[in-house]
Structure 1
């Protein structure tokens, strides 16, 4: 069996991670109320949803294109870790699943930050 080159795997990983953040941006844009309610429940302004949307969209774009991959991956990992707090509801298995997934995504982003974007990137 022929092995897929690492650069192609790096590109696939960046795109898959980017799709997650793009979906988050779209979700916040189409239905901002649920995410804004999470913020308000924690005593934060619901309007923070808009900078979060912009950050998700910018993060997705950077991952897709391989622009500023290392710093953006670090920033996105920190974002995942910080926002996991909103899902730390031990009595709700669904929210706990999201909590754990946020940390797993942060782990993938940290690996990306350590390894860089690979050859198929606009900025290496």
Structure 2
């Protein structure tokens, strides 16, 4: 069951990252507008899209799971503050939900970092 659970964790967290990449590709103005609203350059959408896609694929495939999971935890924690700032500026309650969700995902990524890929991975981590 451990390998199945770790595969499930990798697939679910990876799906969230891949979904973020697709969303940024199809509608870059949404994330870009949030960045610009915080005084950051719109162009940061593109490295975020690339990170989302590569990290999601790495988790799906089971490649470098521990370092990718650690970086994803940091990424989720960092990006949560964008949503907190938007919430404070607009009062949009959905942004607070996303803020909290990002911290929960960061926690899942940290757990995945500790556990590793499990056996069902292209490059399984050593226990």
Could you state the TM-score of these two structures normalised by the residue count of structure 2? 0.92
Secondary structure of 1:110's partner?
helix
Give the structure 2 partner of residue 97 of structure 1. 97
- Once the two structures are superposed, the pairs formed by residues 8-23 of structure 1 within 5 Å of their partners are 8-23=4-19
Could you state the TM-score of these two structures normalised by the residue count of structure 1? 0.94
* 1:48 and 2:44 matched: yes
Q: For the aligned residues, what is the CA RMSD?
A: 0.8
Q: Runs in 1 of length 4+ with deviation above 2 angstroms?
A: none
Identify unmatched segments of 5+ residues in structure 2: none
Q: What does the per-residue CA deviation read over 1:23-52, in whole Å, with 9 as the maximum and x for residues that have no partner?
A: 000000000001001000111100000000
Give the structure 2 partner of residue 110 of structure 1. 110
Q: Which residue of 58, 61, 64 maps to 1:65?
A: 61
Distance 2:42 2:92 in 1: 22
Identify unmatched segments of 5+ residues in structure 1: none
Distance 1:122 1:109 in 2: 19
CA drift at 1:93: 1.4
* 1:121 and 2:121 matched: yes
